[in-house]
Amino acid sequence: MERSPGSLVALRQNNRRRVLEVIRSRGTISRSEIAKATGLSTTTVANLALELLEQTLIVEGPRTHGTGGGGRPAAALSLNTAAGGGLGIHLAHDHVRIGLTDLAGTVIAEHVAELDVDHQPTRTLVYAAHVGLDLIAGAGLTLASIAGLGVAVSAPVSGATQALESGLILPDWRGIDVAGELSASTGLRVDVGNDANLGAIAEHRFGAARGVDDFVYVMLSDGVGAGLFLGGRLYSGATGGAGELGHVTVTPGGFICRCGNRGCLETIAGAHALTSALAHTRGPTTTVVDIVGAAGHGDPGARRVLADAGRAIGSALTGICTVLDPALVVIGGKAGASEGPLLDALRDTLADGVTPLRRNPIPVVTGSLGERAEMLGAIALVTQPAEGG
């Protein structure tokens, strides 16, 4: 069966990404070692390496000695981290974070703005694209040097089509082609993923879960999401909906959630639930950051609200951790940014609830990337691919 020209272009782009990922992960590597690591032919690797060298995305260094005995030592290839980068956008519920990194993942420029993302999809996408292009120009880079644009969204994403499964969670985004619209407005290749999944990818590559192949990443922000890493790979489920921790029922008959069910974890531990619980004493403009800060200074109300949330999160995680047996739980997002009553209560609840067959409690740590995690994971989609579900 003949391949269409489009499929051949896609195949070449995929091979190029694989070669770049191997070079990034190894630091310096020869062409023959790239061929062995990727399974590509030596001719394909040689052609792609030549293309990447001409585009100055990689550089050729001093020759290194091979693993064998004699013979001419092989030339070493490595990333030219200053030659290009990746653009990332995190579409949170109430703000957008746009960032530009070099090819190694170091942040070059970043912009955060408050926006009603949930209800203004068109305005949000136009704004994010405009800022992203400004960041690229401001860094003195060209569009040709940008590997692509990664987008983190607060909804399940179909792995096959990159379509948002947003009907119940983000009804105003129903039918919005995020990848298509951003590609048209920026001229970049666009990949889209769920924000908690991308936060997990970032913590695995750059942060608290580096070197850990089985872990759960929990994003405590406007909503509550989770990314599941099993056997060194992101697990996204049959429809892209794995990790929707915020919609696990923890209080049957409780408050109605935006998904339509009652008593979801998000109604107790989401940002709106936390701020609403203290609005009558701290005022309607109270934020999660305010609550975390007040708890750190000993405010009993703030400490109680966070501890209640921690127990609810621990309860929701108990079943997941009993079934999956992860080596680690990483807590990220606004509410999980620091040690305190939330994490203390979460750890205690999880330790009490997980099967006694497990000899030691599951370590629960804060993420090391903070609120940048989801944006960095989005950029990793286009600059450092390899951990799809």
Percent of the chain with pLDDT over 90: 59
Indicate the CATH number for domain 212-368.
3.30.420.40
Classify 235 as helix, strand or coil. Answer: strand
Report the C-alpha gap between 350 and 316 in whole angstroms: 9
CA of 66: how far to CAs of 21, 29, 30, 320, 384, in Å? Answer: 21, 10, 9, 46, 26
Domain boundaries, the chain: 5-79, 85-199+374-383, 212-368
241: confidence class by pLDDT, cuts 50, 70, 90: confident
Domain 85-199+374-383 part of CATH 3.30.420.40:
yes
Q: Please give the pLDDT value at position 175.
A: 87
Task: Give residue 331's pLDDT.
Answer: 96
Lowest mean pLDDT among 69-83, 237-251, 264-278, 301-315: 69-83
Q: Do domains 85-199+374-383 and 212-368 have the same CATH topology?
A: yes
Confidence label for 106 from pLDDT (cuts 50, 70 and 90):
confident
Q: What is the mean pLDDT of the chain?
A: 88
pLDDT digits (tens, 9 = 90+) for 27-55: 889 999 999 999 999 999 999 999 888 87
The CATH number for 5-79, chosen from 1.10.10.10, 3.40.50.800, 1.10.340.30, 2.60.40.2700, is: 1.10.10.10
pLDDT on residue 199: 96
How many residues does the structure list for the chain? 389
DSSP codes joined into one string, 325-379 = --SEEEEESSTTSSSSHHHHHHHHHHHHHS-TTSSSPPPEEE-SSGGGHHHHHHH
Note the pLDDT of residue 70.
52
pLDDT at 127 over 70: yes
Give the pLDDT band of residue 386 (cuts 50, 70, 90).
Answer: low
The model scores a pTM over 0.85: no
- List pLDDT tens digits, range 275-316: 999 998 888 889 988 999 999 999 999 999 999 999 999 999
328 φ, ψ (degrees, to nearest 5): -160, 150
d(CA 204, CA 114): 28
pLDDT, residue 388, reads: 47
Mean pLDDT score, 352-375: 90
Lowest mean pLDDT among 176-180, 246-250, 267-271, 332-336: 332-336
What whole-number percentage of the chain has pLDDT above 70?
92
pLDDT at 360: 87
pLDDT above 80: residue 68: no
Average pLDDT, integer, range 198-202: 95
